[in-house]
Structure formats: structure tokens, C-alpha cells
């Protein structure tokens, strides 16, 4: 059985109509001053008490009927206790978005929010200071909505599942394919969203979280609907090695390192157990191994995922049993899509599938999060409560949205035509052609709310005063028809330069919709070829997710190719910033560009990273036949990057990987030797994988004639440890700004021991002695080697799954064990 409405994306895409789909429950704060005596006399209203004690006090004051009424995302509150209803489902992936907890007006105040580019694009900037700035604006605007009773205090963001398969319909929601890149991204994002850093409160000094973020989707989720496999019932067979090495590190950063308020369990199962019913994932790994209990942090289900445990996974015999087993195994809140299926909360308790103690614990976790966000405290004591409409879509936010788009846009080909000096008036006529040239809401991508404006490339051309002609183009048709080709060719023939804005959009890829092809649509390739044959400068801008651009890269008549993703509310002007050279491109691909035939070489259902039968390998770490590799990106100038000797003091310290503190060790030296035990003995980190290694000092010389940013990327590889060996792994990165012609900029790339370590077949993270290589830039400009000596050291002893939840890629099938007692009442 398939869900009638897949998720909040389907709501978010309705933009202005979103308010009509809402539950009608918005954030009204409890009144601890003038509320009923049962509230004002309760410890929950005492700001001097601990959040845990305050949450326990209000939940223990409820009877079982009241408790059951608050286990869903649509929490009914408790009128007797002065506890108002609360909607736990609000969205803010790249701006406050349409969702049951967010109520946009139709015009005027609170009718829109800043719409930043999709994460896949601003992640391509390799600039985590930018990520932090974006998150800070999003949380400010989210607070404005909650203060006006038009949004929640918690938001279902970010999506941090690694984007390993190019067909995945939700890849644009993520930062890309590399877990180290995602870890740096999500660390900075969470600091901006929650205004805390590993539980320490930042800018406000108030002791309140700015908002409650929700890292999703835990875990192994990257399939929507492919060849009859739907996410609601998909069972992802993942080895312990791949789980610990690839799928879970971003969540480790969320839970262990940043103490995020909430995590969302996913629709799929992992090795036979639905994620929301999986005690190994939710209790053993999250809460026990990662210690994610500091604030009684809570887990919410993806929406209708509890129903899916019964209806699509067939894991229990009833909806009541599904709710019961999810609560018992660590999931605290069941999100449901209104008017679809019923999560039988009452049946879970009265049928004997869950005890009141478990229900009480789940509710205490949720309400402690609200307390830390200031839900029960006087507005005057919380500086976030003063945020209002005047801080939504400010001039700074507008500028940041445009900057985020330009910093991520990535130059993939250029014969020298770019930057193009467009002349105003009649001296230069520009043809703007393609389905993206006059795009509107498509510029935003998925999980979007109404934007204050959406500026298309056509709008940008008008604002620049260009003499232009416009023609639409096909989207995903296999055959080019004359209604497109005639108009496009007529426009191109009358122009001096041709700008083609194409690719795919959310009608081709989205939540609940994977792709079967990663080639450019044939109709667009045919049209571009015809346009390029005119012999005029022809510049292609690819929007949407990555496609195999081989035909465009090989066509000598195509002057330049720029990837622009989903660029947000100011995407058109941002594109022209790149085209004109007002901003020099310095983005890097956050994913591998695979050849079109890759989709015929491995099924989406194969979750293995390493190559094997029916799998050529996944991501740049294990696949070596890319059209363009991960972190590829050209510039309008030339950079010479090299390792530089000497201490790191006085250098620009890169903090892109999330570990920007100075490590005190100085800089790595070529052919240096470093003893593993000495490195560990000098470390004061609670987790050895976060122990600092020596930083890497680099010099970047601009040998060209254009001022440009430069995103430095450093990789490592080794043959230490067990085979097979990854080709290379991202070790550090940072973005250096505005390097002038002739200037040499310096940076210090910080590394941890964790980025050098490897995972064995049991998931243990081990730092092995042996030879290591450092590779700078893509393509590699220079290398350096060093040696680790001493004894191999385990940095992270991975908890082993139950015997009936193991999977080996060498076996034909997973090692399932019987699910005894499923659907049976508990004591």
C-alpha cells in the first residue's frame, strides 16, 4: 500500500495555497503568569528548575488520556493544564516553507520568507561560513513566524543523507555525496539554526535554543520510487562497514558532536527492521554509543512512517502494534499526513503494546526540547521572542541569497568566451532560450515556501538593459518538436550571443520521484546542437541536478557550460553575475558527474559503496570513470596551488570541515613521521576521532588576470589497513576570498585523526600505521606524503548489530532471524 501523500514536500510545493492545507494548530505559548493554577503552580513554569525536571513535572501532571493525545505531530495539548495544542511539523530546508506548522498569509506581513538556493548548490561553495550565515537567517525568520503564532519552534531540517546515487529524486536537498563535506556543512548549519555549539549557547547568551533542528532521515535513505521499490517499504541491505563509514557520519555530527534537538527516523528498513522500530539504530547507536541524551533529545518519525511499519513493511500485525514497537524502540513522536492513514496511538496503549512509562519518557523528551527553546518562559527573558516581521527578508538576507547562488555556481567548460561583456542597447543582441530562461517557482526547488520574489534570467536581462529575444524550450521530451525549435532558431539567428538555460526541474526529480536517466533530455541536446551550429557564442547554463554533460563538453561549438542547480529567489541575477564576471565562479561539484550508462550498471537498491558484481563502485571514493569528478570546478583565472612549509601561524585557517581551531602541532612536513600513540596522548578531545592532526599549510597564487575566490580541497589516500582501498577521501577544505591577480594567498587546512582513519568490516574506526598521501586540488596539482608510525589505534569501537540484523555484501541475501513476539503485547 502506498501513502496517499508522500511528505511535506508535496505540501511545500503548493506555496501560497499551503495555508489551506494546514492543521490549524500554530504556536501559541503557554501562559505561566495568567494561566490556570494547575499550570502556574507547576514546576514547568519555574525558570530556575532544570529543563528535565520542568518537562517531567508537566508530563507527570497529565493522565493517560492526555498523554496519548500528545504523541502525534498534531499534539492536542491539555486544556485542563493550560497546555495549548502544538504542531510539530514545520519545514525550513532552505527557508521557512509550506507545512502544517507554518501559516503564510496571502499578502502583506508573513506572506513569504527568504528563499535561498537548494542545499546542493550553496554546498558547492565549499564555504561553511556561508552555510552558517544562511542558517542564521533561516532561524531568525523561523522565530519571527513562531512569535507571530505562524510557525513552530521545531523544524524538520536538515536533510543530510549522502547523495550517492545520481537518480535519487531528493539529492538536491542534501549537501552532496561526501560524508566529510556533509559533516562540516551540518556542523555550521546547526550552529546557525539552533544557535548552540555542542550544547553551549552562542550569540544570545540567553540559555535558550533559537529553534529545534531535526536531522533527517535516519538512516540509509536515498530511494523514492524505482522499479517497483518504494521508500515506504524498501529494505536497505547495508554492511556494518558502509553504515559506519558512509551513511551515519553526518548523523554522528548531529547527535554526538552538536547535540541536535531532534532526529527523524526514515521510511525504509535497514537489514530487515524498519528504521522507526529499530532499537539498534535509535537506542544502541544514537543514545548509547553517541551519548545523545544530554537534553533528553527526541526522535520523530517521517510522516506516516509508523503506519508503514505495519502496512508496507509488514513488520507488525496492526497499526497499534507498529506505534507500540516504535515507542518501545526509541521513536518518540509519530508524524502523520492529515486525512490519510491512522496511527493507532490509543490502541498501542490499551492493546498492551506499550507501557505508560515509555509514553511518559517520549513526551518528556519532546517537551524538554520546547522548554530549552523558551516555550514556557516569559517573553521578556528570551531575546528571540523579540524577533518580528521586520527581520524577514531583510536587505542583508536578499544579498545573502544572491551570494549563496553565485558562490555555488560551478564553471565546467569555458573556451574563453566567459566572462562575456554584454553591451547595452543595440550593439549586442542576446537570445535567452530554454525552459529555465523565464522560470518562476522552479528556481526555488523543493521544500519551498512563497518567496518575496523569484527573479528569472529573463528578469535579470531586463534589469541589465540588454537587447534580448526570448524563446521557450522543451523539458524532458525525447523528441524535439518544431514548436520549440522554430522559435528558438529564429531567436538565435537574430542574436549575437546565445544563452541556453536548460537541464531538469522538479517535474522530473522530486520527493517520491526518482529518475531512470541521468543523460540530458534528448530534445534539449538536439536543440542545443542546432543552436550551436550557427557559429555564434553559445553558453549553456545547466539548472537542476547533475546530468551527463559529455555531449556538451565534447561539442566544440559550445563555448561554455555552467552548473547553477536550484538557485533560489534571485537565481536569474546570480546567473548573470557569473556570466558577466561581476562575480568570478569558484564553486566545485558536490557530486560526481557520472556517464549516462551508469544507470545500467548498478540498481538503485544496491547500497554498497565498494565495487563488486553488478556495482562499478559509488562516489569518487570507489568509482574512477567519472565524466567530471567530485570537487571539479574551473575559474576565470588560473591558480597555482602548492604546499608551503613553515608554521601555520599567520595563515588563513580553514574551518570548512568543521574543525577550524588551531591544533598546536604546526604544519605537516613532506616525508614527516608521526607516532600514533604520541598524537593520541596529547589530545584532550572526548572522542579520539576529533583529535587534531597537524595542519597543512598551502599557498595559492593567482597567475591570471581576474580577481577570484578559490575553494581549496585536500584529499588523502593510503594503502594502510585492509583492502580494498578508497581512491582518495576528502580530508579538509576551505574557501579563500578575493585573490587578486598576482597575489599569493595562504591558508592552513586543519585535519583530524578521524579523516585519516578507516573503518574495518565491523565498523570500527582504526588509525593504521603506514604511508599516507595528501592530494591538493581537483585535478590534483601537487602531492605530499608522510608516515604514521606506532601501533594501530581504534578511535571508535562500533557497536555490533544483533545477529538477525547483519548483512554481508558477499552474501546473496541478508542474515534474517525470526521476529519473535512482533505484534504481541508487552508487559
Strands (E), 523-559: 538-543
Question: What does the alpha-carbon distance between residue 773 and residue 784 come to, in Å, rounded to a whole number?
Answer: 6
Q: Are 443 and 456 in contact (CB under 8 A)?
A: yes
Q: H-helix or E-strand containing 413?
A: strand 410-414
Question: What does the alpha-carbon distance between residue 50 and residue 382 come to, in Å, rounded to a whole number?
Answer: 16
Residue tagged active-site, from 225, 242, 295, 302: 302
Neighbours of 94 (CB within 10 A): 32
Concatenated DSSP letters of 642-662: EE--S-STTSEEE-TTS--S-
Question: What does the alpha-carbon distance between residue 364 and residue 293 come to, in Å, rounded to a whole number?
Answer: 12
Question: What does the alpha-carbon distance between residue 603 and residue 558 come to, in Å, rounded to a whole number?
Answer: 33
Q: Are 74 and 336 in contact (CB under 8 A)?
A: yes
Q: Please enumerate in sequence order all residues whose Cβ is within 8 A of that of 405, keeping only pairs 6 or more positions apart, or say none.
A: 117, 121, 122, 564, 567, 568, 570, 571, 574, 575
- For residue 332, indicate whether it is catalytic: no
Cβ-based burial of 425 (10 A; exposed 0-12, middle 13-18, buried ≥19): exposed
Q: Please enumerate in sequence order all residues whose Cβ is within 8 A of that of 562, keeping only pairs 6 or more positions apart, or say none.
A: 409, 410, 411, 412, 418, 539, 540, 541, 542, 575, 578, 579, 585
- Pairing between strand 793-796 and 765-767? antiparallel
What phi and psi, each to the nearest 5 degrees, are found at residue 388? -135, -170
Radius of gyration of the chain from its Cα atoms, rounded to whole angstroms: 26
- Pairing between strand 497-503 and 538-543? parallel
β-bridge mates for residue 14, sequence order: none
Active site residues: 302
Amino acid at each position: 500500500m502506498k501513502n496517499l501523500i508522500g511528505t511535506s514536500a508535496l505540501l511545500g510545493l503548493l506555496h501560497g495555497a499551503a495555508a489551506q492545507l494546514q492543521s490549524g494548530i500554530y504556536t501559541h505559548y503557554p501562559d505561566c503568569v495568567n494561566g490556570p493554577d494547575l499550570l502556574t503552580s507547576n514546576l514547568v513554569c519555574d525558570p530556575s528548575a532544570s529543563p528535565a525536571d520542568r518537562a517531567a513535572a508537566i508530563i507527570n501532571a497529565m493522565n493517560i488520556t492526555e498523554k496519548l493525545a500528545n504523541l502525534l505531530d498534531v499534539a492536542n495539548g491539555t486544556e485542563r493544564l493550560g497546555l495549548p495544542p502544538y504542531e510539530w511539523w514545520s519545514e525550513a530546508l532552505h527557508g521557512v516553507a509550506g507545512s502544517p506548522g507554518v501559516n503564510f498569509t496571502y499578502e502583506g506581513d508573513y506572506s513569504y520568507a527568504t528563499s535561498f538556493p537548494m542545499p546542493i548548490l550553496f554546498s558547492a561553495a565549499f564555504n561553511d561560513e556561508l552555510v552558517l550565515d544562511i542558517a542564521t537567517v533561516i532561524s531568525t525568520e523561523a522565530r519571527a513566524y513562531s512569535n507571530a503564532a505562524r510557525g513552530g519552534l521545531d523544524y524538520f531540517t536538515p536533510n543530510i543523507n549522502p547523495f550517492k546515487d545520481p537518480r535519487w529524486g531528493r539529492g538536491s536537498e542534501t549537501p552532496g555525496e561526501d560524508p566529510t563535506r556533509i559533516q562540516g556543512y551540518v556542523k555550521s548549519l546547526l550552529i546557525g539554526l539552533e544557535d548552540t555549539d555542542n550544547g553551549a549557547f552562542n550569540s544570545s547568551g540567553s540559555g535558550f535554543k533559537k529553534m529545534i533542528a531535526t536531522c533527517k532521515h535516519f538512516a540509509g535513505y536515498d530511494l523514492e520510487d524505482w522499479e517497483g521499490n518504494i521508500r515506504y517499504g524498501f529494505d536497505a541491505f547495508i554492511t556494518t562497514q558502509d553504515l559506519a563509514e558512509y551513511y551515519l557520519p553526518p548523523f554522528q555530527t548531529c547527535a554526538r558532536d552538536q547535540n541536535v534537538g531532534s532526529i527523524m527516523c526514515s521510511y525504509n528498513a535497514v537489514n530487515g527492521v524498519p528504521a522507526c522500530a529499530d532499537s539498534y539504530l535509535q537506542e544502541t547507536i544514537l543514545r548509547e554509543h553517541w551519548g545523545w541524551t544530554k537534553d533528553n533529545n527526541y526522535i520523530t518519525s517521517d510522516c506516516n512512517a509508523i503506519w508503514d511499519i505495519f502496512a508496507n513493511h509488514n513488520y507488525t500485525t496492526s497499526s497499534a502494534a507498529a506505534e507500540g514497537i516504535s515507542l518501545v524502540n526509541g521513536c518518540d513522536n509519530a508524524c502523520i499526513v492529515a486525512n490519510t492513514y491512522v496511527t493507532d496511538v490509543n490502541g498501542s496503549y490499551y492493546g498492551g503494546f506499550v507501557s505508560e512509562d515509555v509514553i511518559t519518557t517520549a513526551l518528556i523528551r519532546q517537551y524538554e526540547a520546547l522548554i530549552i527553546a523558551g516555550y514556557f518562559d516569559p517573553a521578556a527573558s528570551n531575546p528571540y521572542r523579540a524577533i518580528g516581521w521586520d527581520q524577514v527578508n531583510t536587505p542583508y538576507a536578499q544579498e545573502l541569497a544572491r551570494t549563496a547562488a553565485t558562490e555555488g555556481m560551478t564553471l565546467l567548460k569555458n573556451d574563453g568566451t566567459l566572462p562575456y561583456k554584454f553591451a547595452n542597447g543595440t550593439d549586442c543582441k542576446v537570445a535567452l532560450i530554454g525552459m529555465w530562461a523565464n522560470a518562476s517557482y522552479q528556481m526555488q526547488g523543493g521544500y519551498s515556501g512563497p518567496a518575496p520574489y523569484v527573479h528569472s534570467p529573463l528578469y535579470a536581462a531586463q534589469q541589465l538593459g540588454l537587447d534580448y529575444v526570448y524563446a521557450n524550450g522543451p523539458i524532458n521530451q525525447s523528441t524535439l518538436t518544431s514548436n520549440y525549435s522554430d522559435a528558438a532558431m529564429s531567436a538565435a539567428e537574430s542574436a549575437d550571443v546565445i544563452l541556453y538555460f536548460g537541464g531538469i526541474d522538479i517535474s522530473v526529480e522530486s520527493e517520491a520521484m526518482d529518475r531512470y536517466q541521468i543523460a540530458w533530455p534528448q530534445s534539449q541536446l538536439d536543440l542545443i546542437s542546432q543552436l550551436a551550429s550557427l557559429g555564434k557564442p553559445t553558453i549553456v547554463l545547466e539548472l537542476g541536478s547533475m546530468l551527463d554533460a559529455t555531449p556538451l563538453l565534447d561539442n566544440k561549438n559550445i563555448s561554455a557550460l555552467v552548473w547553477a542547480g536550484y538557485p533560489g529567489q534571485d537565481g536569474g541575477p546570480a546567473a548573470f553575475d557569473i556570466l558577466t564576471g561581476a562575480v568570478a565562479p569558484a564553486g566545485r561539484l558536490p557530486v560526481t558527474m557520472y556517464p549516462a550508462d551508469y544507470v545500467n550498471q548498478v540498481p538503485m537498491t544496491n547500497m554498497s559503496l565498494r565495487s563488486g558484481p553488478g556495482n562499478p563502485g559509488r562516489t569518487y571514493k570507489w568509482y574512477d570513470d567519472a565524466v567530471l569528478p567530485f570537487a571539479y570546478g574551473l575559474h576565470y583565472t588560473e591558480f597555482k596551488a602548492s604546499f608551503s612549509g613553515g608554521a601555520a601561524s599567520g595563515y588563513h585557517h580553514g574551518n570548512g570541515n568543521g574543525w577550524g581551531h588551531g591544533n598546536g602541532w604546526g604544519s605537516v612536513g613532506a616525508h614527516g613521521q608521526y607516532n600514533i600513540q604520541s598524537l593520541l596522548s596529547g589530545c584532550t578531545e572526548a572522542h579520539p576521532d576529533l583529535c587534531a592532526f597537524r595542519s597543512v599549510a598551502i599557498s595559492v597564487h593567482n597567475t591570471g588576470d581576474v580577481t577570484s575566490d578559490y575553494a581549496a580541497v585536500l584529499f588523502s589516500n593510503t594503502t594502510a589497513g585492509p583492502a580494498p582501498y578508497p581512491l582518495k577521501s576528502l580530508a579538509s577544505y576551505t574557501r579563500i576570498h578575493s585573490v587578486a591577480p598576482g597575489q599569493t594567498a595562504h591558508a592552513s587546512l586543519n585535519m583530524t585523526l578521524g579523516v585519516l582513519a578507516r573503518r574495518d568490516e565491523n565498523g570500527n574506526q582504526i588509525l593504521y600505521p603506514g604511508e599516507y598521501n595528501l592530494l591538493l586540488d581537483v585535478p590534483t596539482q601537487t602531492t605530499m606524503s608522510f608516515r604514521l608510525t606506532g601501533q594501530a589505534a581504534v578511535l571508535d569501537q562500533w557497536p555490533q548489530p544483533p545477529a538477525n540484523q547483519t548483512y554481508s555484501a558477499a552474501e546473496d541475501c541478508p542474515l534474517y532471524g525470526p521476529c519473535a513476539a512482533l505484534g504481541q503485547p508487552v508487559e
